[in-house]
Amino acid sequence: MSDLKALQRAIGYQFKKTALLKQALTHPSLGHDHNQRLEFLGDAVLELCVSEKIYANHPEMHEGAMTRLRQKLVREEKLAEAAASVSLGELLNMDRSCEISGGRTNPSVLCDTFEAVLAAVYLDGGLDAARAMVLRLIGDCTETGETDAKSALQEYVQSKGLPNPTYETLGEEGPPHDRVFTAAVLIDGKPTAQGKGTSKKRAEQEAAAAALNMMKGSGEAGTDAP
């Protein structure tokens, strides 16, 4: 039960009916009361939540561009990353053979589990609760893609005749279900900025954004990170 409480803190929602959450965390390999129906519903809830955000945040964007952005935000890799950031794979109930074959880290399994948990949140707390979970774990859809900050930084340093940025993970802290990673971006081999996030990729994005702001503000690279 303590693991479920930690998960609920991590996703930002407290269940009234924990049976829904337990079902969402039951892999089909167990053969009963599994999460496939929840996954089906969660896929639709996720698409609605992300579509709403894109529509609201990008009034200038045409339909084709909105569709491409939504595809980037709900692709398997991104959902698996969101699931891993709150340790869904570790909490998933599955049979031994599935576990031995790597089921707990399989991107497809993690993606399906994320959608199932989202559906459970929707059924237990309504659409507002589901929206809040999507916002918390995926983002507010204001970016045009996952690698925007890193790509923008790379383009900027190239325009200055500098080598491409590199990234280092400096550390991680917090309990397993609420991990926070710290990453540094190095430009020309020198630490330039740091960032924090619930995954290594998110921490790198924050570091890239901080470095870009710093460089554009000062016009210089290679200052020591705080």
Q: What is the pLDDT of residues 56-78, one digit of tens each?
A: 888 878 888 888 888 888 889 88
Tokens 């998933």 locate to 92
Spatial separation of the C-alpha atoms in residues 214 and 176, rounded to whole Å: 32
CATH code of 6's domain: 1.10.1520.10
CATH code of 193's domain: 3.30.160.20
- The catalytic site residues sit at 43, 115
pTM of this structure: 0.64
Q: Among 137, 157, 172, which residue terminates a domain?
A: 137
Residues 32 and 124 in one domain: yes
How large a percentage of the chain has pLDDT more than 90? 43
Q: Is residue 152 part of a domain?
A: yes
> What residue numbers bound the domain in which 104 lies?
2-137
Residues 178 and 129 in one domain: no
Residues 207 and 168 in one domain: yes
Predicted confidence (pLDDT) per residue in 180-213, tens digit: 889 999 999 899 999 988 778 778 888 988 998 8
- 75: exposed, middle or buried (Cβ count in 10 Å: 0-12, 13-18, 19+): middle
Residues 52 and 99 in one domain: yes
Residues 54 and 152 in one domain: no
Of 24, 22, 69, 80, which Cα lies nearest the Cα of 47?
69
Q: 32 Cβ partners below 8 Å, 6+ apart?
A: none
Q: Is residue 224 part of a domain?
A: no
Query: Two tokens at 136?
Result: 């918390």
Spatial separation of the C-alpha atoms in residues 77 and 79, rounded to whole Å: 6
Query: Two tokens at 38?
Result: 């929840």
- Structurally, the chain folds into a number of domains equal to 2
Residues 53 and 103 in one domain: yes
Q: How confident is the model at residue 122, as a pLDDT?
A: 97
Residues 86 and 157 in one domain: no
Query: Two tokens at 103?
Result: 């089921």
Q: Among 137, 172, 207, which residue terminates a domain?
A: 137
